[in-house]
Structures are given as structure tokens and as C-alpha cells.
Structure 1
Amino acid sequence: MGSNIECSPSPVLLNIGGKKYATTVDTLTQREPYSMLAAMFSGRHNVCRDSETGMVFVDRDGKQFRHILNWLRDGILPTLTNVEYQELLREAEYYQLLELIKYIKSNICKKKGEDILEAELTRKEIIKIIQSSKIRFRGVNLSGLNLSKLDLTFVDLSFACIRKTTFSRANLHKAKLGDVEGEGSIFQDAILRECEFIGANLTGAVLDGANLQSANLQDACLVGCSFSESDLRSAHLQNANLSDANLKGANLEGANLKGAKLSGANLQSANLQRAYLRDVDLRDTHMDGAKLGGANLLGTIR
């Protein structure tokens, strides 16, 4: 009588830093097809195996590899501490697991319960990078660092985590900070002319006295931010959430606030001349002494 039982694929035996694992070629190649592991077991390369055990040896952290293997199997990770995430990130970068790297960095930025996250770079390291190459810190965790007074012109910080990072009096002319996680960050008296903050989360950030001329803050979360005496001339603030923001004495001449949320915002003594405020709800704002000459107020609710 014939058997209908199908045999599963032969296991791949791995020795990672002394810890032994068994998996399959499909697990190592399908979820992250552009990784180093996928390349190793794609069949295009000869892999060195122990002649007695048949194991493939990799001189890396065996403890962290269990998380990597579970990611490749199920696409999920357990909840880890910030230190554990950083350790796993090093391994993911070694194996070139691009989706896992993205997942880990996202969780490092969003992780709650730790007031200040451990930054990936020090101020000294950042200064060396500035002096030696084009500056790109996309997706990097710089939380809690003091980067005040640095020349960061044209820096690319898109998707970076800059919670409680200090940029006071730094020069960030034409810097890219789109989609950053920057709650509680400090940009007091910083040069932010023509900066890009599209979709940024700057809840509770301090931007007092900052130069934000022609900066693009469209769709940014600016809840509770302080822009006291800041220069926002010709700034793009379309659909930005400025609820409870402090804009006292700010210069918003010619700024575009179409669709912006201003509930509870303080606009006392602000310069809103020639600003675009069409269809904006101003009922819960504080506007004593605000200048509105030439502003587009068509459809504004007051």
C-alpha cells in the first residue's frame, strides 16, 4: 500500500556563534529576498559546511539570531527593551535584512515608557561626519543629543527620531526633516529657513525665536509647540495641527495656513498680514493685537 505522506524539505543546520539552529531554505530566502542570508542559500553560491555535522557556521551573535529566525518565519518580534532593539539592529544590518531594520527603527522611535532613548551617535561622531562627508541621517535615532550651534545646512534627517534633541542656535538651512519623530525637541533661535518638516511630529517642541522663513510644515503635528517671536514669513502651514500652539508675537506675514487647525492657539500680537487664512476656524484662538491687514479671510470662522 503506497504512502501519501509528503516529506518536508531537508533542514538547513546553522551554527551561529556557537548556538545551533535548524530551519529551511524557504525561511531564509522568502521574506527578505535581498538579504545576505537569502544570497547565501539561494543556490547561486557554494556554502561551506562542516564535513561531519553539515552545519554552516556564522561568527555572529547566536542569542539574537533566534529573533532574526522568528522574523523570517512570521514577520513579527516580541516586545524588546531599547538596548535589546539596538543589539538586534546591529545583527539585522550585518545580514542586510532591510525590512527588519525598518521595523526595528520604527519601534525604537515609537517605544513608550522610556523618557529619553539611547542615541545611535554621539555629538563628537556627528561633528566628524559633518566635517568629512555629505550629511545623511535618514531614519537614525538621535534622541536626547545636544546638537546646538552646529552647522547642519542641507542635512537629511527624514524619518529620524529626534525626541528631546537640542538644536538651539544650529544652522539647519534647507535641511530635510520630513516625518521626523521630534516630540519635545528644541529649536530655539535656530536657522530653519526653507526647511522641510512635511508630516513631522513636533508635539511640544520649542521653536521660540527660530527663523522659519519659507519653511514647509504642511501636515505637521505642531500641537502645543512654542513659536514665540519666531519668523514664519511665507511659511507653508497647510493642514498643520497648531492646536494650543504659542505663536505670540510670531511673524506669519504671507504664510499659508489653509486647512490649519488653530484651536486654542495663542496669536496675540502676531503679524498675519497678507496671510492665507481662507476657511480657517479662528473661534477658539487668542488674537489680541494681531495684525490682519491684507490677509485672505474669506470664509474664515470667527
Structure 2
Amino acid sequence: MEPGTPRPPSQVFLNVGGKKYATTIDTLTQREPDSMLATIFSGQHTVFTDDKTGMIFIDRDGKHFRHILNWLRDGIIPMLQDSDYQELIREAEYYQLLGLVENINASLCNRKDEDTPVVELTELTRKEVIQIIQSEKVRFRGVNLSGLDLSKLDLSYVDFSYACIQKTNFSRANLNKAKFGDAEAGGSIFEDANLRECELIGADLHQAKLDRANLQSANLQDACLTQSSLCEADLRSAHLQSAKFTGANLQGANLEGANLKGAKLNGANLQGANLQRAYLREVDLRDSQLDGAKLGGANLLGVIR
């Protein structure tokens, strides 16, 4: 291109916190069209350039912006240290690049999984479980732990996905952020257990005992809790979409702010339960007992009674 020739209209020069970058409108707008960058450079807003340099200034740390451009160009996640990943996530969140954030988090999870030993045994004893959790962070995916007494153990962050844990005793155990996705846990005991922020998506917990369990912010989407007991359980802000509580005992349970959209609570005992500000849209409440239940501010649109 000869000196003085106007550059192509799609070309953009950026000054990000003192670091200079050259890119195109297509790069900034096509991969993540809902991002802040796409909105700014989509032509919907006036973009101001420096009259002397012709550059657009962005007041952010320019260190990781090259990784952001590489993501927008090719969908590439760089190989970084964990601390650098956290910095990159912060920048990606600022630019509202949700796809980049999700891919970084997935990459970090895969890295942790590769470094985490997988238990290959099909059956374990309580003693063996204690020895393993004392030595390593492990996954018990698909392992048969049925009938074991695992009460009062620290099992936080442990992965029980797809495990067979029927009639297993987890009472008073610390299961903070543990994973039980699609686990078979029918008849198991979780009384007084800490299940805060647990992942129980699709888990079979029919006839399980969860009285007084802490399930704050736990994810029980699509879980089966038919005929289970959750008396005085703490389910505040839990995700309970499409969960099945048919015939369950939730007397005195705290479900404040919980998302119960599409859940089945028909025949459930909700006497004295706190359902304030809960999302009960399209919930099946036929034949349920609601004496003394608190429903202030709850979304009851489409409730089946």
C-alpha cells in the first residue's frame, strides 16, 4: 500500500493500556457477537480515535489482550499458569467474552482431572476410603460404595458422579462442593450433612434422608427425591428445576429463593416450609400440604394445584 493511501475500512488500531495492536472489525465482532467489543465496533456506536495516531484507546491492562485477539481470530486458548489464567478471565469478563471464559474454565477443569487419580476399584471399604481421601483428592466415579458408613468424613470436592451409593451413610459428613451427578443414592442418609454447593444433577435420591442437611446453592436439577425426607433442610437459593419431590417430606425446610421451576411437589409435605421469593413457576403442588408455609414474594405463575 502506497504512503497516504487510506487503509481498508475494516482495519482497526488499538492502544490497550499502552500496548498497541492492529486487527479488524470482523475479528472484533464475529466470534462473540454479544460481547462488549462487538457492540462497540459493530457500527452502532461512535468510536473516537486519536487524531494524531489514529488509534482507539482502551483503558485496560494490555498484557493479555493478544490472547483475547487470538481467541477472537482462531478460537485458541493459550497455555498459561493458573495465575495468568485468572488475570485473563478477569479481562475476558470485562469485555463480556463469555465463550472465552467458559473455555478457559473447561480447560482448567480438564487439567485438574488429568492430575487427579481415578479410583478403578468397583467396591471399597470405609477404611480404604479414609486412606484414599487422606492421601489424595480422588474421584469415585462409578464406584460401588453402597451400604458403607461414611459418616463424619471430610469428603469435600470429591466426585461421586455415576457412583452406586445406595443406603450409604453420609450423616454429618462434609460434602461441600462434592459431585453426585447421576449417582444412584436411593435410601442413603445425609442427615445433618454439609452439601452446600453440591452438584446432584440427575441423581437418584428416592427415599433418601436429608433432614437438617445444608443444601444451600446446591444443584439438584432433574434429581429424583420422591418419598425422601428433607425436614428442616436448608435449600436456600438451591437449583431444583424439574426435580421430583413427589411424596417427599419438606416440613420446616428453608427454600427461600430456590428455583423450583417445573418441579414436582405433588403430595409433598411443605407444612411450615419457607418458600419466600422462591421461583415456583409451573410447579406441581397437587395434594401437597402447605399449612403454615411462607409464600411471600414467590413466583406462582402457572402453578398446578
Give the TM-score taking structure 2 as reference length: 0.60
Aligned residue among 220, 232, 249 for 1:246: 249
Partner of 1:174: 177
- Return the letter of the residue paired with 1:263: N
Partner of 1:296: 299
Aligned residue among 154, 158, 162 for 2:157: 154
- Offset from partner CA, 1:75-106 (integer Å, 9 cap, x none): xxxxxxxxxxxxxxxxxxxxxxxxxxxxxx9x
Counterparts of 2:252 and 2:157, CA distance in 1: 28
Partner of 1:137: 140
Counterparts of 1:201 and 1:279, CA distance in 2: 22
Structural RMSD (CA):
1.1
Aligned residue among 120, 123, 126 for 1:120: 123
Partner of 1:228: 231
- Return the letter of the residue paired with 2:207: G
Counterparts of 1:223 and 1:166, CA distance in 2: 19
Gapped runs of 5+ residues in structure 2? 1-120
Alpha carbons 2:263, 2:282 under 8 Å: kept: no
- Return the letter of the residue paired with 2:243: A
Q: Aligned with 1:259: secondary structure?
A: coil
Aligned residue among 210, 214, 232 for 1:211: 214
Counterparts of 2:193 and 2:284, CA distance in 1: 30
Counterparts of 1:128 and 1:222, CA distance in 2: 31
Counterparts of 1:159 and 1:301, CA distance in 2: 32
CA-CA distance at 1:301 after TM superposition: 2.8
- Return the letter of the residue paired with 1:182: A
Counterparts of 1:276 and 1:233, CA distance in 2: 11
Partner of 1:185: 188
Counterparts of 1:253 and 1:149, CA distance in 2: 27
Partner of 2:261: 258
Counterparts of 2:231 and 2:223, CA distance in 1: 18
- Offset from partner CA, 1:118-142 (integer Å, 9 cap, x none): x711111111101111121000000
CA-CA distance at 1:235 after TM superposition: 0.6
Q: Aligned with 2:286: secondary structure?
A: coil
Q: State the aligned residue count.
A: 185
Counterparts of 2:187 and 2:255, CA distance in 1: 22
- Aligned-pair identity in percent equals 76
Aligned residue among 271, 274, 282 for 1:271: 274
Partner of 1:197: 200
Counterparts of 1:301 and 1:181, CA distance in 2: 29
- Offset from partner CA, 1:144-198 (integer Å, 9 cap, x none): 0000000000000000000000000000000000000111000000000000000
